[in-house]
Amino acid sequence: MSENTLSARPRLAARSDTNTTFAILVSLSVCHLLNDMNQSLVPALYPILKDSYQLDFGQIGLITLAFQLTASMLQPLVGMVTDRRPQPYSLPIAMGCSLIGLLLLSVANNYVTILLAAALVGLGSSVFHPESSRVARMASGGRHGFAQSLFQVGGSTGSAIGPLLAAFIVVPRGQTSVAWFSAAALLAILLLSNVSVWYSRHLTQRKTTGGASAVNAAYAVLSRKKVLFAIVILVALLFSKNVYTSSLSSYYTFYLIHKFGVTVQDAQIHLFIFLGAVAAGTFAGGPIGDRFGRKPVIWFSILGAFPFALMLPYANLFWTGMLTVAIGLILASAFSAILVYAQDLLPDRVGMVAGMFFGFSFGLGGLGAAALGQIADWTSIDTVYRLCSFLPLIGLLTAFLPNIERRRS
């Protein structure tokens, strides 16, 4: 056997491994798309539920709170447990829980059942997000920002598609048509079953090689006090991003209908355009962070949205659409950068960090939706957007984050 043949074998093995892990990342992204597409049906149903059950804005906010708090309270716990004892096959089980919530939402005939269905969909997310984020980091090949962005762009795309499908399927056909989307959940269960097999094999390989120890040592550069301080700042930045995003995802359709008199379907299309911009911005944040560092991306993504948010409450319909596209593109790049920055701070607690930050993302969005709904009832929907326009100023706190990229180099 020639020397060239022997040397070619490692290259072929490396290429095969790269193709396998990229396939895992794509599968996770597709499942994230399907998962978040189904989840986005909950807020997309708000105009129908409001009219059918005579709900006020406060009750609409509580539906969001039921969904997001279920996810936010359990996700850090799931991450902590699976850091110590990974559960590869929990992913398809979690999607099955979301499937049950969807079917229940399609037949719900009272407000309490709607809350229960929303909570079950959130319960599925509480397992799916931290575990999928962990697998994405495992399959990243060191390009953590790219892997998280590819994973998250699936979710953002699904969130954008959901309202569009709701506008053309659920709005004309009614609440029961939500059951049709259970097919998407079934497809995700099949894909996640394959991912779980790879996950299980990868865990076995890591136990035999002990490959994580060197990586963990490379990142252990900050004291516990400084890490905690940085985490607090990151949570404050998430608060700014998610409460503002929640103001658009939960109440944007009502704002457009109230201020410009558009139809429900037209409002859903505008929401789709905004969420499409969010999907594009989500993918950009990770690779740019891999190239230039997480902190510059966080600076731009939070504070950069401020001038556009400040103009939004005073714009006409055309410029409202244009401004929300700019806001979605800029704000969305923050999350992957924030998540990877936090995982770099605590590399041996990847699941807990993912669960905590996905959980905070859901929870802060839910609390923001409930609070903004009450403000809209007490004042007006216009006041909500005038108040929220100042939230991106919290991005100034980025100045206090440590420069961990410089320390690592």
The first and second tokens of residue 262, run together, are: 């558009």
pLDDT at 214 over 50: no
Q: Is 291 exposed, middle or buried (0-12, 13-18, 19+ CB in 10 A)?
A: exposed
Taking the alpha carbons of 188, 193, 194, 199 in that order, is the dihedral positive or negative? positive
List pLDDT tens digits, range 239-294: 888 888 888 877 898 899 999 999 888 888 898 888 888 878 877 777 887 788 88
Higher pLDDT, 19 or 184: 184
Cα dihedral 197/200/206/209 (nearest 10): -80
List pLDDT tens digits, range 56-82: 878 888 887 888 777 777 788 888 888
CB atoms within 10 A of CB 138: 20
pLDDT at 401 over 80: yes
Query: In 166-305, where does DSSP find H-type helix?
Result: 171-173, 182-209, 212-219, 224-260, 264-292, 294-303
Among the listed residues 63, 51, 113, the one whose alpha carbon sits nearest the alpha carbon of residue 254: 51
User: What is the length of the chain?
Assistant: 409
Answer yes or no: are the C-beta atoms of 307 and 231 closer than 8 Å: no
Global pTM exceeds 0.75 = no
What does residue 47 show for φ and ψ, rounded to 5 degrees? -60, -40
List pLDDT tens digits, range 355-369: 788 777 766 776 777
The first and second tokens of residue 303, run together, are: 């504070």
Domains (ranges, CATH) in the chain?
21-205+218-408 (1.20.1250.20)
The first and second tokens of residue 403, run together, are: 């420069």
Would you place residue 15 in the very low, low, confident or very high pLDDT band (cuts 50, 70, 90)? very low
The first and second tokens of residue 7, run together, are: 């040397």
